[in-house]
Amino acid sequence: MSMLLSASTCTAEWEQGEHLFKISNYSIHRGMGVGCYIESSWFTVGGHEWCLHYYPDGCMEDGKDDIVVALELKELDHMALTARVSSTISLFHWTTKQFSSSVAALSANLPNPDYFVTHKLNRGEMEASSYVVDDRLTIKCALTVIKEPYVIEEEAHIEEEEASPTSEITDQLGKLLEAKEGVDVTFEVQGEKFPAHKLVLAMRSPVFKVMLYGPMMEKDSSRIVINNMQPLVFKFLLHFIYNNLLPVMGDDDLLDGDDKKEVTRHLLMAADRYGMERLKLMCESILCKDLDAESLATTLALANQHICSRLQDACIRFIASSSSTKIDDVVASRGYNRLKRTCPDTVMEMWEKATRLRKT
Nearest to 309 by CA among 353, 355, 255, 245: 353
Q: Letter for the amino acid at 120? A: K
Q: Please compute the mean of the pLDDT values over residues 37-58 and round it to a whole number.
A: 86
Q: Give the tens place of pLDDT for each residue, 136-176.
A: 889 888 888 777 666 666 555 545 455 556 667 777 887 88
Of the listed ranges 208-217, 271-280, 286-295, the one predicted with least confidence: 208-217
Whether residue 355 has pLDDT greater than 80: no
pLDDT value at residue 122: 79
Query: In CATH, what is the architecture of 169-359?
Result: 2-Layer Sandwich (3.30)
Question: How confident is the model over 303-317, as a mean pLDDT?
Answer: 87
What pLDDT band is residue 254 in, cutting at 50, 70 and 90? very low
For the chain, percent of residues with pLDDT exceeding 70: 79
**Residue 145 or residue 257, greater confidence:** 145
pLDDT of the residue at 104: 47
Amino acid at 103: V
Give me the CATH code for the 11-151 domain, please: 2.60.210.10
CA distance 358 to 48: 42
Rounded CA separation 111/78 (Å)? 9
Instruction: Give me the phi and psi of 10, to 5 degrees please.
Output: -95, 125
CA angle centred on 90, ends 299 and 282, rounded to 5°:
35
Statement: residue 79 has pLDDT above 60: no
Give the span between the Cα atoms of 323 and 327, in whole angstroms.
Answer: 6
Does residue 23 surpass a pLDDT of 60? Answer: yes
pLDDT at 229 over 80: yes
* Global confidence as pTM: 0.52
List CB contacts of 18: < 8 A, sequence separation 6 or more.
Answer: 140, 141, 142, 143
Segment 272-300 shows an average pLDDT of 90
pLDDT at residue 1 greater than cutoff 50: no
Residue 78: pLDDT above 60?
no
Q: What is the mean pLDDT of residues 12-19?
A: 78
pLDDT for the residue numbered 115: 47
- State residue 272's pLDDT score: 93
Q: What is the mean pLDDT of the segment spanning 247-275?
A: 78
Cα(185)–Cα(213) distance, integer angstroms: 12
pLDDT of residue 156: 54
Please state, as a whole number, how many other Cβ atoms lie within 10 Å of the Cβ of residue 324: 7
| Confidence bin at 237 (pLDDT 50/70/90) | very high
pLDDT for residue 182 is more than 80: yes
- Residue spans per domain, the chain: 11-151, 169-359
Cis peptide before 195 (omega within 30 of 0): no
Please indicate whether residue 162 or residue 32 has the higher confidence score (pLDDT).
32
pLDDT for position 170: 72
Query: What pLDDT score does 228 carry?
Result: 92
Average pLDDT, rounded, for the chain: 79
Collapsed DSSP state (helix, strand, coil) of residue 293: coil
Tell me how far CA of residue 348 lies from CA of 190, 194, 343, 351, in angstroms: 38, 43, 9, 5
Residue pLDDT, tens place only, 81-127: 466 777 788 888 887 778 775 554 455 555 554 445 577 777 877 77
